[in-house]
Structure 1
Amino acid sequence: MKLLIVSDSHGLKKELGELKQRYENQVDAMIHCGDSELMSNEDEVQGFLIVRGNCDFDKQYPLDIRKNINGNEIFITHGHHYNVKMTLMNLSYKAKEVHADFVFFGHSHILGAEMINGTLFLNPGSFLMPRGRRERTYALVQKEKNMITIQFFTDAHQELEELRLTFYI
């Protein structure tokens, strides 16, 4: 399974469209963790599993998405309803409740990934206004057998190799 994860693009159309064009036939799913600030009928978001963030006004976007992809339970949220800027505890309770293998979220604009009780929690950072780093980022997540590899990329599609992570499950 290979997934593209992006969040907090805050109105970027051209860049999100280019990201979509680059990956839409290369991954099993394209995921946007909210605050696209685009309407759900715009071309740039077509094909994305996308949730509503605190800066999204289109009610067509759900607050959360649960999806099984290749036998993996995926939970997607923006994170503002789970207070992710302060703690992952609320989100970890939700992950346990829905038996999530992967949890993807945004909101804080801070990239990161960690394994908590067998569930991968990942924030791809912000595609427009990063915090904690200068680079605008997105992530690729790949699961092969018992190994999960996470790669973070800049908006210029350059891998931040020092941030590559591998988890064995």
Structure 2
Amino acid sequence: MRYPIVLYPADGLRKKAQPVEFMTDALVELLDDLYETMQAHDGIGLAAPQIGKNLRVAVVEIDEGDRFDLIDPIIIEQKGEDIDVEGCLSIPGRFGTVKRADEVTVRYFDREGDEVEVTAYGYLARAFQHEIDHLDGKLFIDQLIEEIPADKLEEYMEAHADD
């Protein structure tokens, strides 16, 4: 089921999401709904608060077929730093540079309830951090270094392609 995206400044985006207590069929369905909604909006990640569900659940897929279903994710290690452009489905039309760790190790439960640990680099690491921030009630605009007007985004990306 596709959900509408909760848009900033809705209060629910600033609340810390509640941990998942039990694996249920409804939780697996929520993961599929998040994924379907993310796909419909051309996103690479979506957290449950962005569809009005106050649970520590998110999905990420930066490469087709490489989907991560994150239940109660936490970052257990981070290294390095990288500054890159971000946007957000909940804040359409706003873009800017944000500093994030270049490498993160994330521990979470998958859709089968198994504990998983993944070390991610670069863009995937950034996506994990962005979605986990949503679960903590934080938004990318809280960490903006430089805001980039939407009409200048393509020009900015071309100018910084080799960064």
TM-score (norm 2): 0.31
Q: Per residue, is there more helix in 1 or in 2?
A: 2
Rg: which structure is higher? Answer: 2
Which of 1 and 2 has higher RCO (CA within 8 Å, sep 6+)? 2
TM-score (norm 1): 0.30
